[in-house]
Amino acid sequence: MSIVVSDIFYHYSNQRALLKHISLSVSSNRKVSIIGNNGTGKSTLLKLLAGELMPFFGAIQCSSQPYYIPQQTSIIGQSISESLDIDEKINALHAIKNGSSDYVYYDLLEDDWDVESRCRSALDFWGLADIELTSPIDSLSGGEKSKVFLAGLLIHKPDNILLDEPTNHLDQASREKLYDYIINCKATIVVVSHDITLLNLLNTTYELTEKGIKVYGGNYSFYKEQKEIEEQALAQQINSEEVSLRLARKKAQEVRERQDQRTSQGERSKQKGGVARIVINARGNLAENSSAKLKEKHSGIIGEKQQNLSELRQKQQINSELKINFENAQLHKEKLLVEAVNVNFEYVDTKLIWETTLNIEVRSGERIHITGNNGAGKTTLIKLLTGELFPTKGKIKKVDFSYIYLDQQYSKVDKNATVLELAHEYNFNNLQEHEIRLRLNRALFSKEAWDKNCQTLSGGERMRLYLCCLMISNHIPDMFILDEPSNNLDISSFSILTNTIKNYQGTVLVISHDKYFVDAIGITKSIKLKIRNEAIK
**Burial (0-12, 13-18, 19+ Cβ within 10 Å), 204:** buried
Confidence class for position 317, pLDDT limits 50, 70, 90: low
Q: Are 33 and 202 in contact (CB under 8 A)?
A: yes
pLDDT of residue 270: 56
DSSP codes joined into one string, 121-167: HHHHHTT-TT--TTSBGGGS-HHHHHHHHHHHHHHH--SEEEEESTT
Rounded CA separation 417/431 (Å) = 19
Mean pLDDT of the region 414-443: 90
**Burial (0-12, 13-18, 19+ Cβ within 10 Å), 363:** middle
Mean pLDDT of the region 385-401: 92
Whole-number percent of the chain with pLDDT over 90: 49
Rounded CA separation 518/362 (Å) = 18
Nearest Cα to 455, choosing from 410, 494, 489, 486? 410
pLDDT of residue 366: 94
Nearest Cα to 496, choosing from 485, 481, 480? 485
Rounded CA separation 256/261 (Å) = 9
**Top-confidence residue, 158 or 313:** 158
pLDDT of residue 316: 62
Minimum mean pLDDT range among 182-191, 224-233, 267-276, 340-349: 267-276
Minimum mean pLDDT range among 250-254, 265-269, 413-417, 447-451: 265-269
Minimum mean pLDDT range among 69-73, 74-78, 94-98, 304-308: 304-308
pLDDT of residue 446: 83
3-state secondary structure of 401: coil
pLDDT of residue 344: 94
- In this model, does residue 186 exceed pLDDT 90? yes
Nearest Cα to 491, choosing from 458, 513, 523? 458
Mean pLDDT of the region 453-461: 84
Render the burial of 18-47: b for 16+ CB within 10 Å, e for the rest: bbbebebebeeebbbbbbbbbebbbbbbbb
Write out pLDDT tens, residues 338-380: 999 999 999 877 788 898 999 999 999 999 999 988 778 898 9
Confidence class for position 471, pLDDT limits 50, 70, 90: confident
- Find residue 60's DSSP bridge partners: 5
Write out pLDDT tens, residues 42-62: 999 999 999 999 999 999 999
**Top-confidence residue, 495 or 374:** 495
Nearest Cα to 252, choosing from 202, 302, 321? 302
Angle at 367 between CA 444 and CA 439, to 5 degrees: 20
Confidence class for position 536, pLDDT limits 50, 70, 90: very low
Give the list of residues 6+ apart from residue 68 with CB closer than 8 angstroms, or none: 46, 47, 49, 50, 52, 162, 164
Confidence class for position 537, pLDDT limits 50, 70, 90: very low
Q: DSSP letter for 431, please.
A: -
Write out pLDDT tens, residues 131-163: 899 999 988 877 888 999 999 999 999 999 999
Edge-first strand listing for the sheet containing 507-511: 403-407, 479-483, 507-511, 367-371, 525-528
Q: Report the chain's mean pLDDT, rounded to a whole number.
A: 86
Handedness of CA 147, 149, 150, 155 (dihedral sign): positive
Neighbours of 6 (CB within 10 A): 15
- Select, from the ranges 122-126, 130-134, 226-230, the one with the highest average predicted confidence (pLDDT): 122-126
- In this model, does residue 273 exceed pLDDT 80? no
- In this model, does residue 534 exceed pLDDT 90? no
Query: The pTM is what?
Result: 0.76
Alpha helices in 189-276 (DSSP H): 196-199, 220-272
Helix or strand holding residue 20 (H, E): strand 19-26
**Top-confidence residue, 190 or 317:** 190
Edge-first strand listing for the sheet containing 336-344: 358-363, 336-344, 393-398
**Top-confidence residue, 38 or 203:** 203
Angle at 179 between CA 177 and CA 181, to 5 degrees: 70
Minimum mean pLDDT range among 116-120, 389-393, 479-483, 493-497: 493-497
Rounded CA separation 152/141 (Å) = 17
pLDDT of residue 338: 94
pLDDT of residue 308: 78
- In this model, does residue 535 exceed pLDDT 50? no
Contacts 24+ apart (CB under 8 A), 516-525: 516/195, 516/196, 516/197, 517/486, 518/369, 521/367, 522/367, 523/367, 523/368, 523/369, 524/366, 524/367, 524/368, 525/366, 525/367, 525/368, 525/369
- Find residue 136's DSSP bridge partners: 79
Mean pLDDT of the region 382-386: 93
**Top-confidence residue, 524 or 231:** 524
Rounded CA separation 528/373 (Å) = 9
Q: Are 38 and 460 in contact (CB under 8 A)?
A: yes
